[in-house]
Amino acid sequence: MQKSFEITSSSGNYQVTIGKGLLAASLNKHASAVILIDDFLTGVLPADEKKIIYVTAVEGSKSLEEAAPIVIKLRELGAHRKTHLLAIGGGIIQDVSTFLASIYMRGIPWSYLPTTLLGMVDSCVGGKSSINVHGYKNLIGNFYPPSEVIIDLDFLRTLNAEQMIGGLFEAAKICYARSPSEFAAYLADAPSINMSPDQAERIILRSLRSKQWFIEIDEFDQKERLLLNFGHTFGHALEAATEFRISHGIAVGIGMIVAEEYAKQQTLLTPTGIKCIRQMTSHVETLLHKLPEVAKELRSLDIDLLSEKFDNDKKHLAEQYRIVVPKNDGILELVQVPRTAQGRANIKEAYRVALERVINIFH
């Protein structure tokens, strides 16, 4: 049975539908659409589909430099102001589509079918695009939500362990940020890489409903929504320092462990808070255990390079680093750390202890 709910947005409300076998119905509904699809997924389209733009889901594709050739393809396929864009893929396809749909002829309608668990539990709602420029990750972007989000659970069948785990880390993060009871309910759904479609559906719904609260109260990232950056500032540096060999979701999971270590080092947590965040990071560790290649990557990581990448993150202010950490009884807060030699050393130490912890999971 398919489920749906509506997200309220200043640029128009949109429906989110979750179920199985939804791709065929979408292709029928938007028979004259231009399809922008991850080239890994070419086999899912009927052979007679003509207006297709293939994009390879690598970081280099979601860049300002790669946007122009796609605009030209849209033009060559005859796309006009009323043309519907159907985007099918993970977060990279979503970022590219959000950006291009927003600028092509000053904006065309579009629908999004997320095909990764990360896309389904997190990025498909919220309307954000993030585009890399000349190697700087997510440097530019905008808000341009689709007119509908269609989550077809059949796409989960081909995802590997790393892709499933990355998605679960984002879902865990959202539920944790929302409330202790939401996180407890997430854990009670027994998230794992071998989830049944029904289990996955429950987790996706829980995660999206939790995220809905943040994006409806703070659509443009001014206050509450910033808490969803938990694990991200630490994680982005891990992605960058490994040239994206550690993927986004996995880096976020490890980033939450770094945040826990920073909070402990600075004695920001009560005993209840320590227990609370520990529940999250032991969930992360249990899942990471299935990915020995991550430990290999971390063992050869240069901590000075990591520290430098952290320093370069665009979310920091001139005089302060900005990080989301658990405080007091484990509730997340946006914390400003002075951008001094001491501040830097503390962050570096939190990374060092956290990475050692992750590497030790595999001993």
Ligand X SMILES: NC(=O)c1ccc[n+]([C@@H]2O[C@H](COP(=O)([O-])OP(=O)(O)OC[C@H]3O[C@@H](n4cnc5c(N)ncnc54)[C@H](O)[C@@H]3O)[C@@H](O)[C@H]2O)c1
User: Which parts of this chain interact with ligand X (CB under 6 A)?
Assistant: 38, 40, 57, 59, 62, 89-95, 115-116, 118-119, 122-123, 126, 128-130, 138, 155, 158-159, 163, 166, 248-249
Closest CB 249 distance from ligand X, rounded Å? 6
How far apart are the two ends of the chain, measured CA to CA in Å?
44
Residues 6+ apart with CB under 8 A from 102: 129, 142, 144
What minimum distance in Å lies between the beta carbon of 47 and ligand X?
19
In the Cβ-directed half-sphere of 138, how many Cα atoms lie within 13 Å?
Answer: 18
90 and 40 Cβ atoms separated by less than 8 Å: no
Sequence-distant (6+) residues with CB within 8 A of 238 are: 246, 251, 254, 255, 301, 306, 309
Cβ proximity to ligand X, 39 vs 329, nearer residue? 39
Closest Cα to residue 50, out of 37, 66, 68?
37
Q: In whole angstroms, how close is the CB of 237 to ligand X at the nearest point?
A: 13
Length of the chain: 363
CB of 300 to ligand X, least distance (A): 23
Q: Structure tokens of 66?
A: 């790669």
Torsion of CA 191, 226, 16, 55, to 10 degrees: -90
Supply the minimum distance, in Å, between the C-beta of residue 55 and ligand X.
9
Q: Which is nearer to ligand X, 146 or 330 (CB)?
A: 146
Nearer to ligand X, 62 or 283 (CB): 62
* Encoded tokens for 10: 């200043």
**Nearest partner of 105 among 131, 71, 130, 63, judged by Cα:** 71
Residue of minimal Cβ distance to ligand X: 91
Q: Is the CB of 249 or the CB of 330 nearer to ligand X?
A: 249
> Based on CB atoms, which residue is closest to ligand X, 181 or 194?
194
Shortest Å, Cβ 82 to ligand X: 25
Question: From the DSSP assignment, how many helices (H) and strands (E) are in the chain?
Answer: 13, 11
What is residue 113's three-state secondary structure? strand
Of 115 and 276, nearer to ligand X (C-beta) is 115
We find the least distance from the C-beta atom of residue 68 to ligand X, in angstroms, to be: 19
- For ligand X, which is the closer residue by CB, 153 or 337? 153
Closer residue to ligand X, CB minimum distance, 122 or 148? 122
CA torsion sign, 126 to 326 to 290 to 233? positive
Least Cβ distance, residue 114 to ligand X (angstroms): 7
